[in-house]
A and B are shown apart, each in its own frame.
Chain A
Amino acid sequence: MNDTAQKHLHRVELKSKEYKSDIPVVWCGGCGHHGVLTGLLRALSELGVDPNFLVNVSGIGCSSRLPYFVQSYKMHTLHGRAGPVATGVQLARPDLAVVVSGGDGDGFSIGGGHMPHLARKNINMTYVLMDNHIYGLTKGQVSPTSRSILKAYTTPYGGVDEPMDPILYMLTYGASYVAQAFAGNVKMVTQLIKDGMEHKGFSFINVLSQCPTFNQIDTAAYFKSICNEAVADHDVSDLDAAMHVVNQAIREERVPTGLLYKVERATLDERMAALVEHVGGHPDYDLRKIIDLSRP
């Protein structure tokens, strides 16, 4: 671990409500996102994260409003671009804690091209995907995780697309920490965000989060019923085992929850730091030595 990784942890003692900003929460009553916010605030408190060293980054969507409600530095960016913006923040300042929050459309539709690279490059950040199987902010269109039977406003006769499984993709893309929870299980959400932030590397947490306003079939009760209550008992350092558990659950139309995969490997900022060290890099390196290379 380099000397900056997870340095932001255990710095202060604050209650979870002290991490809440003054901006009122705008989500509908019964929205799963409330549980995710509560879980995040509790995790921050339990970890003792200094809010001055925390950057919350989001894209666009209902879930992307989350940073407004958290006491921290934060960026509310473009649809699909939270991941790369957060990458810039993290690489520029590896001493900061970086948390991305966003939805299924933001992360896996418009922003889907960035996901493999956040994972394979092992950017040291925690990505909390609030997966409600619907576009909420645009009021009810199918998302990449919507079930085919969902009749949304763009699928009035029923869906024509197959849904994707975010967990399966993130395992394949090489994320070094992959976990899943149901938003109604705030205890598990808290624990996984905490673990994810302690994990050095790219931690991805998919949270099934009901949208009571626009998704009438994927209700809280439905999500609760399909989530395996018990945390999977496979070896979480074994990628094959994790893939097997997820595939098995998909076949059974169930969702595995808890920590599914975790591996330690170098993060991009660590590799960059090693590269700078390798070339003897220093901000005071004499520019003339570089310019001299262009003499005829």
Chain B
Amino acid sequence: MKRDNDMQGMTKNDLIIRIAGEGGEGIISAGDFITQACARMGLEVYTFKTFPAEIKGGYAMYQLRTCPQRIYNQGDTFDILCAFNGEAYDLNRDRLKPGTAFVYDSPGGDFEPDIPPGVHAYPIPMTLTARELNSPKAKNMVAMGALSTLFNIPEAALREVLSAKFARKGEAVVQGNLAAFERGRELASALKKTDSFAIKAAETKRDVVVMSGNNAVGLGALIAGVEFFSAYPITPATEIAQYVSKHLPKRGGTLIQAEDEIASISHVVGASYAGKKAMTATSGPGLALMSEMLGMAFMSETPCVVVDVQRGGPSTGLPTKHEQSDLFMAVHGSHGDAGRIVLSVEDVKDCIDLTVAAFNLAEKYQCPVLLLSDSSLAFSTQTMPYPNPDSYVNVGRKRWDGEGEYRRYALTEDGISPMVDPGTHGGMHIATGLEHNEAGAPNYSAANHETMQAKRFGKLKGVINDFPAVEEDGEGEADIGIIAWGGTIGVVREGLQRLRAEGYRVKGFYPKLLWPLPVEQFERFGASCTRLLLPEVNYLGQLAHFVRAETSLRPESYTICGGLPFTPDMIVRKVKEMLA
């Protein structure tokens, strides 16, 4: 998708709107309304939000990218900035380039900006108007009205989503907000429009949903047939529990808010032993607490799905910010030699597809499956084709056929021993964290431990063939191959498109399965590239570390850890630097 910032006299169809201000001012809801309206017009949307770790106050930002074509990431920078306060202006003034549009709170706001030459300025008295209307909380609606008029966001669609959202707060609230919205439209109509940004409805409308990454994980779990869910609240994963809490009872499932993450993973292991498809969702600090039980789940061969919505660390770190820094812990975070399967998601669609895959793998291989998401994706709302639940295949665990004497940990050709649910006659056995023989009885002999470790690790060899585990972007030989995982993939996709448009020979490699590392696929990709680049949002270069350790490849690490994802232009610049 080519973005041309120098287009003159033409209406751009790939637009980025950034709304920024103080947390609690309704930045997020205004952004959500516009997002919904754009999606109703048949456009693709991709949002990116940052907000403070505090409940009130602090800088909050909502960035909406919308386009008739598929969008892979949040984009480089905004075309339109809407600033609610001086801090929002200060933090974004460097990006007010000639050609950008700037809507801001004035007069009556807490700042008076210097408008750089070439910037299209639209002062709207947001605070003042909301106060005049006796709806001080409706400042965001004044702003939204102004944006609607200035950039052709259909009034009717916005009125609909606004009314629907505030309906449960009563008619007075709906009317108050609509009045503020209307006033914002009038104020903007009085201004002379000097830019050419306008949102245009798509020519064809597709059947889509608009979901956040967190909600999509919850939906993926429902599609996969989750029967039991336990979790402890933690930013930025909590919405997964909230989504599942709302909908799982409708499917007759069981959920529990645990006293801590040790309890939540313990609940999951217990429920899975009892025969249910079970999962938990957390962030890095919670995963750290779960690591001992994940070892137990591997040792006792108990299926379980754990979603880790990564945030900035270490320790409490940057709890609302973006980072891809839990890979080491996801892969190796337990004592002893403990195995597991680690997947990572690229976008909202993956959040559904790979959550289903995670359940299928957990049930098939009887081990923990960790699914890595991140805080940007957690809150990013994106359009995706309507997910038809019938198009997904759900795999259940292999169960004992009742023949002969039951041995829970029977040595089989593929290493997978049939399970049995409590209540089955003849199936009594122990699930244990102690090393054990085929029957489950404690056995610490050298030969037994070696046999059983080989069984537990050996069964994971087939994982690579069970789902689309890797994706290659581009063909033939390349001067630079970029390896990316998680949320960085979408950024690389667009970066590569731009580079190719300029004639660069570049390719991408996107593993969705991170552990066991798909070594052969890495090697094949590496062999077709002269140099390899591996951008990731963490300090240590965690995937690069594993690639160097497990393959013959020596990717050049490109790491950032400023709490924000990469942007496509960073990838483009880096590749050009390397080839300069």
Contact = CB atoms under 8 A, between A and B. Distances in A.
Interface string A267-296: 011001001101111110101111100111
A294 B263 contact: no
B135 interface: no
B215 A52 contact: no
A288 B505 CA distance: 44
A282 B262 contact: no
A224 interface: no
Contacts of B264: 84
Contact of A76 (B268, B386, B434): B434
Interface in A10-68: 23, 51-53, 55, 57, 67-68
Contact of B215 (A78, A287, A294): A294
Interface string A106-125: 00000001101100000000
Contact of B425 (A52, A72, A86, A87): A52
B502 to A, nearest CB: 35
B262 A81 contact: yes
Contacts of A75: 270, 273, 300, 430-432
Residue in B268, B427, B428 whose Cβ sees the most chain A Cβ within 10 Å? B428
A93 interface: yes
Residue in A84, A96, A279 whose Cβ sees the most chain B Cβ within 10 Å? A84
A57 B251 contact: no
Given A53-B423, A93-B275, A88 B252 contact: no
Contacts of B411: none
B215 A81 contact: no
A88 B210 contact: no
Interface in A237-271: 268-269
A136 B432 CA distance: 20
Interface residues on B, range: 35 or more
A113 to B, nearest CB: 6
A296 B275 CA distance: 37
B230 interface: yes
A93 B389 contact: no
B475 interface: no
B371 interface: no
Contacts of B253: 276, 281
B422 A279 contact: no
B208 A91 contact: no
Contacts of A153: none
B266 A91 contact: no
Interface stretch (B145-153, B174-182, B187-195, B219-227): B219-227
B143 interface: no
Contact of B252 (A57, A93, A281, A291): A281
A91 B210 contact: no
A169 to B, nearest CB: 15
Interface residues on A, range: 35 or more
A88 B389 contact: no
Interface string B205-244: 0001111000100010011000110100000000000000
A84 B422 contact: no
A197 B144 CA distance: 62
A88 B209 contact: no
A236 interface: no
Interface in A73-110: 73-78, 81, 84-93, 95-96
Contacts of B247: 290
Contacts of A176: none
Nearest to B211: A294
B266 A295 contact: no
B293 interface: yes
B168 interface: no
B441 interface: yes
B250 A296 contact: no
Interface in B268-303: 268-276, 278, 292-293, 296, 300
A64 B493 CA distance: 53
Given A73-B428, A84-B270, A92-B275, 10 more contacts: A68-B430, A81-B262, A81-B266, A92-B272, A96-B423, A114-B263, A279-B250, A290-B222, A295-B210, A296-B208
Interface of A: 23, 51-53, 55, 57, 67-68, 71-78, 81, 84-93, 95-96, 113-114, 116-117, 268-269, 272, 275-276, 278-283, 285, 287-291, 294-296
5 contacts: A55-B422, A76-B431, A88-B273, A96-B422, A289-B250
